[in-house]
Structure formats: structure tokens, C-alpha cells
Amino acid sequence: MSSPLDLTGPEERPERPEAQAPADSAERPSEHETPSRASEAPAEPPDSADAGEDDGFDDDDDGEDAGPEVSDEIRAATEALKAAEAEDAQAAAEAGDEAEEPEAVILEPEPEPAANEPELQAPTTTRTGEPAEIDPDEMDPDALKVVLRLHQHGHQAYLVGGCVRDLLLGKKPKDFDVATSAHPGEVRAIFRNCRLIGRRFRLAHVYFKGGKIVEVSTFRANPTELEPAAGAPGSEDGQSGEDLLITHDNVFGTAQQDARRRDFTINGLFYDAAEGRVIDYVRGRRDLDERFIRTIGDPEIRMREDPVRILRAVRFAAKLDLDIESRTYAAMEGAVEDLPRCAPARLLEETFRLIRGGVSAPALKLLAALDALKILLPPVDAYLREHGKEGEKTFYAFAQALDKRVSAGEVLDDAILLATLLVPISRAQPPPDDSQDEGRASVSRVIEDLLAGFVESARLPRRIAERCRMLLLMQRTLSGERRRKTGAFRRHPLFNEALAVFTMTVEATGEGREALEAWQAGEVPPPRAGANGGGDAEGPRRKRRRRRRRRGNGSGEGGGSGASSGSDAGEG
């Protein structure tokens, strides 16, 4: 036997249900992203706005950089962000979603292999002497150990899905998944470093050093292809059901059934590492060679079963530079109207996966052609319709600037991704005049409604929504629309993230380059012509705002400033 499986005591990971919310991807590192500086919580907020307390963003105690205080809008948005973070933490605690302390794992030494025990090593040639269809050196060694160990215990086991597709396309897979005939309990009995997750459908996670996880699933069957029970909807009693939406997918099956239940032929390929050959039940090799995305089975049925497949097809087409087969594309157009029936959390997570992948520009163009943006991102759809060709040029320039950074390997927080795409809408629509009456800073109404909808129905963490709002508000100061020169603004916890968004704005529009260079050099750019010193560019709101009175000059105590702050906060 080759080197034994190295076992670790991993932390317990939350289960990965199919309708996982983007909250998970924002709260912890995933295969798509790792935390950026924006994910660090800002300093704890003060308990009150009483005199003598400092919120951390004034310059009264900074003699070398005394100047106007941070605008009331930035201050209010900062407090809203802190409150959102506290609310998210409390909600997670109440729901029991916080990561629990993992159970202690006692690891026993791996037994010495018997003298006659075969070595667990993937062959480089097939039984006929031909080279293996995929070089074992290109595969993950831990995933290979899992497959070969399952084979050793008499089970079928294959590498499946995206890893096989990417290897055949000459790309590096982001992860390696395994499908097997072994039931979850049997997998756990074979691997001591294994835990089962999931309530609706049990999956096995095999852990390795460094926190790596190889996910092992048992072969499943497509429930819509199973013979309906007598009297059930769709049976021969005449009660045929028109609704094909899959609401359960937890039936064990064979390897061929498992391949056929998958969405697209290019994702239905299995690789038998023990034999060195690709197993193709669905003619996926043909479509890879022809560079087509095609559903497995009738595209009309498959898209109605799960309309989220529309977004997956768009992502694969943009990411892999493949064409969508004509019947599949027609079925996608027809199934767009079914997208609202899907779980909002799934739709939002798939939308974020498009943006995180560095292909947001081509993906969003394809979604716009399918008329799906009106459901996924209504403000973007309205902006593109209202501003025509010029609006399209501006919006996709922002998307391309975002893709450039992601493709370069820069890890961006979800709030930065979303804020960058919403900057054109924010620039085109000023915030409402009544935002101060609501007691907090506000961006344009359509963006407020979008963020509120994501939080309420799609389980977007409120802190992500507040952070996105904050980044959009800070663009006005960075661009010079607000005449602010203060070290407190530069020390704001989200200053670097806001500057990253502003940098992409400059790249997309070509405007504000001098201001960007000044901020990057540690200087304060001159205000734009007509900039509002009180923090508002619009006349009506300038009359509504009240600047805080300051007492003392640098050496004055914080009590005067704190009292003024409390008064302003009270009046909103």
C-alpha cells in the first residue's frame, strides 16, 4: 500500500444543502473565495451618542490632521453597518447556524500494509496497454486515494462531474468529487477521517491535512424518471402532473442513473481511475469535442425540473467559452419565467458565482439576452433598458473592470462585487430627498429595494447589504462630489475597499483619474466643480443637512463634539 491516508482532526463543517444561501459563502471561505480585508469587522460601536464618547471617525484628537469631520451620511451608514453585523451574529446564534466546536477525533495509527496487499496507485495505462485517458499526475492524490480505497473494498467509485470535464479540456479543476455505489454509512466505515453531512441527502466528507475535503456521494437516480406509484400524480389514473419542478432528489440509484440525472452532458462524464478510462453514458465526449452545452434528455423537461440550470448553463458557457446547443437555448428562454419559483437563496448564490468567476461581463450579457436580468437584478435590467446602447457600454465596462481584477487573482468580498456592478445605477439615480428623515444614509431607491429584497428573501447577510451601501456612499467623497478632507475618512475600516471600487470606476469610465492618483498617494484631491462642502450635491438635500458645531481647536475635549454628534443623530 502506498503512504497511508493522513488523518486530521478537522473542524465540523456545515452541511451543503442544494439551496445553500450566499450567506454561507460570505461568512466563511469557500472554493470560490477567501476572506478579504472587507470581511474584517470594524471597531465595536459606542454604546450611545452621549457627550464625551468618540465614534472613532473624528479628528478632534488628531492634532496633525485636524479638519472637517466625516459626513453625517458616512457616519450614519457606519453605525448601520455595525448594527447589521451584530444583528447577523445574533440571528445566526438563534438559528443555531454558528459553527459548533468540533468533536474531538482520536486518530489511531494506520496499520502497516500486509505483504501481499496491492499498492493503491492509479495505473498509467489501460488493460489494453494504451495510455490512461487522463494522466494520474494531473489528479488530486487524495481524491485518488479515496477512489482506489473504495475499489479495494469492492465498491464502484469514480471521479465525476466538473473535474473530469475540466481535465479533458486541459484546465485545472477547482475540486475533485467522487461518486460511489457505497452508501454513506459504508463510506464512513472505510475512512476514519470521514463525517456524514446533510439531512435531505447524506454526503460523506473525507478530510485530509490542511483542511482539504473530498466529497463522496452515493449514486442517485433522477426522481422524474422513476416509475410513479399507482395513484400518484403522473400515473395512469389520468392525474398527470404538469409541474416538473424537482422538490426532492434523494433516491439511490446506479452509476448510469446517476450520470443521467445530471444537468448537462459535459457534466455527466465519469472517470474510472482504476482502469484509466472515461465512462460516458450521455455522449458528453462528443459535446466536449464539438464545444457544445447540451442538456441530458429533453431540454424542455430538464429546464422545467430546475430553472436554476439556466444560470449554470450561462456560467459554463462564459467560463469554458462553449456554445449552447440550439434546443437547449430555446428551452432556457422558455424557462426564464419559472425562475421566480426557485429558492431566492439559490438564485442569488448562482448569480454571485457568475460574478466571482471573472466572467461577469459575458455572463450578464447572455442573461440580458435571455431576459433573465429582470428577475435576478431588476435595477440593472431597468438601467440597460432606459439608457440604451450608451448604458450597455458603461455597465459592461464596469463588469469588465471587475473581471480583470478577479482574473488576476485578486480576492474581492461579495459587497465589493455587488457594489461595483451597482455603481452605474447609483451614478444615474441620486438618492431620495427623504433619506435623512428615515434616520440613515440612503442610496437610490431601486438599490435600496434590491438590497432589502436580497436580505429578506434571499438570506443575504445584512452586513453585506450594509457594506455594499456604505461603499456606494463613499464613492461620492472619493470622486470629489463631496468636499471632504479628513484623516478620519481615510482611517475608515472600509476605505481600502471603497478605493478598490473607485479604481474600477476610473478604469471603466476614464473619469476621476487625478482624484484616484491623489488618494493613492496619500493626498486629498481638490473638490470637483460645484462640489458640496456639506456633503450633498443636490440642492434640496443641502438645505436639510446641518453641519456639526465644533468646540475647541484640536486640543478641545471630545465632549463638545460628542454632544453635537448626539444632537445630529437624534434629528436624523
Catalytic residues: 175, 177, 263
b or e along 68-81 (b: 16 or more beta carbons within 10 Å of the residue's beta carbon)? bbbbbbbbbbbbbb
Helices (H), 429-461: 445-457
- The sign of the torsion formed by the CA atoms of 290, 311, 180, 170 equals positive
3-state secondary structure of 416: helix
Residue owning grid cell 456639526:
548
Strands 269-272 and 213-218: unpaired
Beta carbons of 194 and 204 less than 8 angstroms apart: yes
The DSSP H or E segment spanning 24 is helix 22-27
Going by C-alpha positions, the residue among 337, 288, 336, 344 that lies closest to residue 311 is 336
3-state secondary structure of 555: coil
3-state secondary structure of 165: helix
Q: What is the DSSP string of 463-512?
A: HHHHHHHHHHHHHHHHTTSB----HHHHTSTTHHHHHHHHHHHHHHH---
Strands 157-160 and 277-280: unpaired
Beta carbons of 444 and 432 less than 8 angstroms apart: yes
3-state secondary structure of 263: coil
8, burial (CB in 10 Å: exposed 0-12, middle 13-18, buried 19+): middle
Beta bridge partners of 215: 177, 205
Going by C-alpha positions, the residue among 23, 18, 15, 14 that lies closest to residue 343 is 18
Residue owning grid cell 485530509:
208
